[in-house]
């Protein structure tokens, strides 16, 4: 399994679990990213921050630190 930060542009992955606790985990879940949802990686900035994704037809930007907490397959 990989984290979302390791996924390349144009790939669709499914969330297996979200690591982290407290406010960070809640912020990720408030974006609509939950276990079992599909994420399409649209664009990754040259230095890897931010990562632009599509989740449930919404376009989001994730910080690299947040993307490392999202485990995908």
Task: Give the domain range for residue 53.
Answer: 2-72
Q: How many structural domains compose the chain?
A: 1
Confidence at residue 38, expressed as pLDDT on a 0 to 100 scale: 97
> 12-38 as b/e, with b when 16 or more CB fall inside 10 Å?
ebebeebeeeeeeeeebeebebeeeee
SS3 62: strand
Q: Find the CATH number of the domain harbouring 65.
A: 2.30.30.90
How many angstroms separate the CA atoms of 57 and 24, rounded?
A: 22
The residues, ordered by sequence, that sit 6+ positions from 49 with a Cβ below 8 Å of its Cβ are 63, 64
Is the entire prediction scored with pTM above 0.85? Answer: yes
Render each residue's pLDDT in the chain as its tens digit; 73 residues.
899 999 999 999 999 999 988 898 999 999 999 999 999 999 988 877 899 999 999 999 999 999 999 999 9
């Amino acid at each position: 399994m990989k984290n979302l930060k390791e996924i390349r542009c144009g790939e669709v992955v499914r969330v297996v679990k979200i690591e982290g606790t407290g406010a960070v985990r809640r912020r990720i879940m408030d974006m609509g990213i939950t276990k079992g949802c599909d994420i399409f990686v649209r664009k990754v900035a040259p230095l890897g921050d931010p990562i632009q994704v599509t989740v449930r037809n919404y376009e989001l930007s994730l910080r690299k630190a947040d993307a490392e907490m999202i485990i995908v397959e």
